[in-house]
Chains A and B, each alone.
Chain A
Amino acid sequence: MSEAVDHEVEAEESPDVDDPILEVDGLKKSFGGLVATDDVSIAVERGSITGLIGPNGAGKSTLFNLISGFYEPDAGQVLVGDSDVTGLPPHEIVQRGLVRTFQTPKKLEGMSVREAMLVGPQAQPGESLVPIWLSPSSVADAERANLDRAEELLQLFEIDHLATERATEVSGGQLKLIELARAIIAEPDILLLDEPVAGVNPTLARKLAGFIEELNESYGLTFFIVEHDINFIMRLSDRIVVLDRGRVLTTGSPQAVKSDSRVIDAYLGGGGP
């Protein structure tokens, strides 16, 4: 994750990534006459924390929706690991190891926090109707293991005291932590976070950054993060991708990106000659 940083400054136009876990190639999407994503190519290094920034309307959310299967691209390709996931429905992309979170997660009505956590695990036998009747012991075993794992993760994120609280009664910041924990329990290879610290107080934001680094180091989990909080994302990321008006403006180390005049222009609303 750090060796890629050295030669970043001169190689900014051709992101050279040795072992990409996520590759986006020539992705295009327009809504009516509006081109939201215009020929975007991005590679995310396995085991890295990659940031995606850009001014409002740059196409960050559209890109996330295209990658995770919520939108179908007009052209281009998305590869997760070695498999082409272009045009697959979201749940099949999750099975390939890519999980995403949402900017404003909806609260799960009528569920406790740990029930909401239990939605995360993949391939639960009890999610199909046949095992519920024919092999209830496999359902019970999986449920027991998932409950333990959920408690473990809630402890890791220091919110285990909320386990049996109603999911509708936790604060916005706690909800962000629960969302992250729930995404982890799905055991992804790469996690796409959509504004993980939006509306979160600075203390909790620092805590979140710590958790993300810890998960990155101890599990080798790859992160691809959209975030408006520039300090947060610059400190956390190994690489930064800058989008502007549906195109990749530049790619590079946080330092290189920060000092790039085009990035400054884009953020200051420039764009004149």
Chain B
Amino acid sequence: MIDLTRTERTVLGVLIGACILLAGLVGTGVLSASYLFYLLALGGMYVLLTVGLNVQWGYVGLINFSVAAFFGIGAYSVALVTSPRSPLELELHPIFGLLAAIVVTVVIALLIAIPTLRLREDYLAIATLGLAEVVRLIVLNEQWLTRGSAGVPGIPRVTEWMPLAWVPFDSANFRNFLLVVGLVALVFLIVRRIHRSPWGRVLRTIRADEDLAKALGKNTYRRKMEAFVIGSVIMALAGVFYAHLNLFLGPGDLDPINTFYVWIAVIVGGSGSDRGAIIGGVVIVAILEGTRGLVAVVPADVSVGPLRLLLVGALIVLVVRFRSQGILPPQRELIWPGTDRRASASTDGGEDRE
């Protein structure tokens, strides 16, 4: 269809191989279809988080250590507004949960970004590190609002309307999978379009040299603010989806380690690359969830949890050592579609420049 670079062909091949392997596992009964789709839905959620962080770090170079917090803000907004067991007792339609999540996220993102984005980039990093802890402690301690460590159960499902009676297995996870595929597709189309626009070009200039962007007349403060808010809202969307997937929410879901998993996903995938972000998200979930199967393989006196972290660490070392730009780094010019006369005349954008 389109000419792919060598890297893209390799990645595509591995993905197809993985799909065949998974299909084989389901076919032979090793893996239940329902569980597979649960894993894939979870993968989609990580992809959303990764795409969100990629807008902030990959496009502009903003360091956000609040990924888990924005995820939690999205998820808790939904839970508190829609669940019958929420202390707020609102029981609104899930659409209001989504709206609440977006509004609260935008407000908090602005509150943290307005004072820090004018300063050097380290200050945003410090402030978001603080925010993550603040959000977690509020969720844990403000019981009148969040029920604290008891968590919020009873979050409604949002996928019942899908006509999936024909599916030969428990379809709940399959529905969630379809929902997250839709969400990822929508978000991907949106970020792809803004990434290819002059807006995205200003962001990439800021990442390379903010003073240069300023000297060329760009309002860098405003652009950074926009990227930060957009990225945070995408993370909150992941939280919204998670709330409707898991139907229960507790403070444990805001575990700060998730922030670092998402960071690893962005770096492994290739900072600044939209497709890289998707690959990175998939790879991280494959490692985190795939290693659960290790229980059957490793000796009984080796615990799997730390082994998993070890594998993630090894992955980082390998990527940094052998492919520091990530699996699928940006490789093509980003010019607004349909305006490039050269693209139709020649095909020199297609070769793998390494």
Contacts and interface: CB of A to CB of B under 8 A. Distances in A.
Interface in A99-146: 99-102, 105-112, 114-115, 118-120, 122, 124-129, 132-133, 139-140, 142-144
A147 interface: yes
B199 A115 contact: no
A37 B195 CA distance: 41
B224 to A, nearest CB: 13
Interface in B319-354: 329-330, 333-336, 338-342, 348-349, 353
Interface string B180-209: 000000000000011001110110110111
A140 B198 CA distance: 10
Contacts of A142: 198
Given A106-B212, A119-B202, A132-B194, A143 B217 contact: no
Nearest to B333: A112
A220 to B, nearest CB: 20
B333 to A, nearest CB: 5
Nearest to A148: B341
Contacts of A125: 198
A108 B336 contact: no
B213 interface: yes
B219 interface: yes
Given A99-B215, A164-B342, A182-B216, A143 B204 contact: no
Interface stretch (A87-95, A235-243, A249-257): A87-95
B10 to A, nearest CB: 20
A89 B214 contact: yes
A100 B333 contact: no
A149 interface: no
Contacts, number: 116
Contacts of B340: 147
Given A124-B198, A164-B348, A94 B215 contact: yes
A164 B340 CA distance: 12
A106 B209 contact: yes
A218 to B, nearest CB: 23
B218 interface: yes
Contacts of A118: 198, 201, 335
Given A70-B211, A139-B198, A115 B333 contact: yes
A45 B341 CA distance: 40
A110 B353 CA distance: 11
Contact of B336 (A107, A112, A126): A126
Contact of A90 (B209, B215, B226, B342): B215
A228 interface: no
A166 interface: yes
B220 interface: yes
A118 B340 CA distance: 12
Nearest to A100: B215
A71 to B, nearest CB: 12
Given A110-B204, A144-B339, A139 B197 contact: yes
Contacts of A70: 211, 214-215
A242 to B, nearest CB: 25
Contacts of A115: 201, 333-335
A143 B342 CA distance: 13
Contact of A143 (B198, B219, B330): B198
A124 B218 CA distance: 10
A122 B330 contact: no
Nearest to B194: A132
Contacts of B213: 119
A68 interface: yes
B333 A164 contact: yes
Contacts of B219: 89, 91
Nearest to B202: A127
A186 B348 contact: no
A129 B199 contact: yes
Contacts of A89: 214, 219
B215 A147 contact: no
A132 B232 CA distance: 20
Contacts of A112: 333
A107 B342 contact: no
Nearest to B118: A89
Given A109-B208, A129-B194, 19 more contacts: A68-B215, A69-B214, A70-B214, A90-B217, A91-B220, A100-B215, A106-B209, A111-B201, A119-B205, A120-B216, A127-B199, A127-B202, A140-B336, A140-B339, A143-B198, A143-B339, A147-B335, A147-B341, A166-B353
